[in-house]
Chains A and B, each alone.
Chain A
Amino acid sequence: MRLVIDEVRCKGCNLCTLVCPYRIFKPGTIANRKGILVPVTDRPERCTNCRLQKIYGRTLCGMCQMICPDQAINWVNEEVYEPHRVVVED
């Protein structure tokens, strides 16, 4: 899975930068078309949810998505973000 910020919805409040245990979100510096400083993501493939959501079949962590007041954070299906194969032992 790949983490994406919806540029249409994001209002640049930076609340997501407060909650990520990996500090994946960094305050943005370049204004987009709407004049909003959308946060940039630093190596988002580290995100727990990007790596493990499929294996566990549910959202893991998800703190950034819950706190985002503009419903702007989501995950899209993309294999490239699961580079480390994780084997679940049973």
Chain B
Amino acid sequence: MAHEYENHAPMTMRMETPMPYEWSIGKYGSRFFQEIREKNQFIGIRCPGCGKVYIPPRRVCGPCFKELDELVELPNQGAITAFSIVNYPFIDPNTGIQRPIPYTYGYIRIDGADNIFSHIIDETDENKIKVGMRVRAVFKEKDAMQGHINDIKHFEIVD
């Protein structure tokens, strides 16, 4: 009888199993991580159509629809173009563990690049960080590098 169950709350079902992937990084992406590992520097790529230098390097310039192949060495420094000190919990997709908050997500123009690279900036005091400040990448020890975006630990303000 339906009425016997009227006091029961609606039920839900949880699923917490991760879905595994193994994504190819590609020719230029692999080169990007090798450059970080070998030289603690970056590599970008120049479009033969518009001359734009992209970081990380990629095969196609969207606006020009041209294939890129001219790699450009870039320094491990740049300037902050935008940032956010984040208090919203973030579950690291690699570990499933929540990253400590707050953390600062930064939009960084690497010297010599025309697009913006993003990474963590190790400054969470809003009084000590501003758009335009100079930053420098801090890398992991070579032996600890895995061909991963976290081979760059973070950027630090050098102003």
Q: Are both chains from one complex?
A: no
State the B residues within 8 Å of A (CB): none
